Amino acid sequence: MKAVTVVSEKAYKKTERNAWKVFKSQRYLYYMSIPFVIWVFVFQYLPLWGWTMAFQKYKPGLSFFEQKWVGLEHFRTLFRDDHFYQVLRNTLAMSLMGLIAGFIVPVVFALLLNEVRIQVIKRFVQTVSYLPHFVSWVVAAGIVTKMLSADGGVVNDMFMGLGIIEQPIQFMAQGKLFWWVVTFGDIWKETGWNAIIYLAAIAGIGPELYEAARVDGASRFRQMWHITLPGIRPTIIILLIMSIGHLLGTGFEKQFLLGNHLVIDYSEVLDLYALNYGLAMGRYSFGTAINIFNSVISLILLFAANGIFKRYTNESIM
């Protein structure tokens, strides 16, 4: 019994010494990482500390201890505000539409592009499809507005030419169309880019599977359906979970740049709400409460999605 204690004590001292020795021998690794850890702490973690503002009657200029605490008052104001529900509806609607479209369209695009057997064409289409991803939303919004414009926009010209409509549609002035404008703008901008991962996953599927299917007489379409699609299933699910996690954080750039005062009832999203009612009016605490609400919902969605997929498909990111 005594002997055991002595041994373990010795072993403990040894590991302690070792840890210190390793620490010393790795000092360069610490020099190279610690500054950035501090950096991340300041710029990413300190704003989280700012969440306390939501529970205070925050006044700029006062120190943390001088602030007046008000508990959940701002959240109560938020949940009592009718405007909030409209904004929440817009956020959820555009996020969900973006999620569905932004996930189905790139998969279809990747599947079809994979069937292009002429390499030159395949590469050309792929290169072209990335192009809009690299321009800013400022430019993209300008282009979308231009294409949809009622006088001389190509979309209206085309629809009129085909005789589908009599009068040009005021795409940018009708609230009801705004969600669709944002969704299609997003598809136009990001489909090619989002397809990269699926194409890479398709490239990783073993050729012997296709070989076997061909021997069995499967058509190209059946190969696509029974081999390619199941082959990229894990990738699809992981990306789906990740995008659900970012559901409410899909940003406000599009809405800010494409929106105007005519469609504001349909274009305002949570972040813009925080910007307009929090920052512009100096109601910092209220704005922060909106930010927190946004983050909490995102996290819940992420964990829920992860849990559901773990249960039914054995794929998960955590």
Partner 1 sequence: MEAVKSSTPVGRLNNWLKAKSPQDRILEVVVYLFMIVVTVLTIYPFLNVLAISFNDSVDTIRGGITIWPRQFTLKNYDLIFTYEGLITGFKISFLRTVIGTVAGLASGSMLAYTLARSDFQARRFISIFLAVTMYVSGGLIPGFILMKELHLIDTFAVYILPGLVSAFNVFIIRSFIDGLPYALQESAKLDGANDFTIYWRVILPLCKPALATVALFLAVGQWNSWFDTYLFNGSNESLTTLQYELMKILQSTTTSATNSQDAANMAERMAQVSPESVKMAITIIVTVPILIVYPFLQKYFVKGMTLGAVKS
Dist CA 246 CA 190 (whole Å): 16
Binding to partner 1 by residue 53, rule CB under 8 A?
yes
Instruction: Decide: helix, strand or coil at residue 45.
Output: helix
Binding to partner 1 by residue 132, rule CB under 8 A?
yes
- Which residues, numbered 212-231, are part of the site for partner 1 (CB under 8 A)? 219-221
Binding to partner 1 by residue 24, rule CB under 8 A?
no
Binding to partner 1 by residue 104, rule CB under 8 A?
no
In this structure, is the dihedral angle defined by the CA atoms of residues 255, 190, 295 and 313, taken in order, positive or negative? Answer: positive
Name beta bridge partners: 57.
68
Binding to partner 1 by residue 143, rule CB under 8 A?
yes
Pick the piece of the chain touching partner 1 (CB under 8 A) from 67-75, 76-84, 175-183, 251-259.
251-259
- The set of long-range contacts for 310-318, using a CB threshold of 8 Å and a minimum separation of 24, is 313/233, 313/237, 315/233, 315/234, 315/237, 315/238, 316/241, 317/238, 317/241, 317/242
Helices within the chain (DSSP H only): 2-25, 27-40, 46-49, 73-80, 82-114, 119-134, 137-148, 154-161, 175-203, 207-215, 220-223, 229-231, 233-245, 253-258, 264-267, 270-273, 284-313
Binding to partner 1 by residue 292, rule CB under 8 A?
yes
Binding to partner 1 by residue 30, rule CB under 8 A?
yes
Residue 209 makes CB contacts below 8 A (sequence gap 6+) with 227, 231
Q: Which is nearer to partner 1, 261 or 311 (CB)?
A: 261
Side-chain-side CA neighbours of 69 within 13 Å: the count stands at: 5
- Which residues, numbered 146-175, are part of the site for partner 1 (CB under 8 A)? 146-147, 151-152, 154, 172
Shortest approach of partner 1 to residue 175 CB, angstroms? 14
Burial class (CB in 10 A: 0-12, 13-18, 19+), 133: middle
Contact 189, 136 (CB under 8 A): no
- Which residues, numbered 260-289, are part of the site for partner 1 (CB under 8 A)? 260-261, 271, 274-275, 278-279, 284, 287-288
Judged by CB under 8 A, the residue of 110, 298, 305, 309 near partner 1 is 298
Binding to partner 1 by residue 40, rule CB under 8 A?
yes
Binding to partner 1 by residue 308, rule CB under 8 A?
no
Contact 97, 179 (CB under 8 A): yes
Nearest to 202 by CA among 134, 136, 115, 278: 115
Binding to partner 1 by residue 304, rule CB under 8 A?
no
Judged by CB under 8 A, the residue of 7, 72, 100, 128 near partner 1 is 128
Judged by CB under 8 A, the residue of 12, 39, 64, 225 near partner 1 is 39
Pick the piece of the chain touching partner 1 (CB under 8 A) from 5-13, 75-83, 254-262, 304-312.
254-262
Number of residues this chain uses to bind partner 1 (CB under 8 A)? 90
Binding to partner 1 by residue 135, rule CB under 8 A?
yes
Judged by CB under 8 A, the residue of 15, 50, 76, 212 near partner 1 is 50
Pick the piece of the chain touching partner 1 (CB under 8 A) from 5-13, 33-41, 76-84, 94-102.
33-41
Shortest approach of partner 1 to residue 96 CB, angstroms? 19
Q: Which is nearer to partner 1, 7 or 280 (CB)?
A: 280
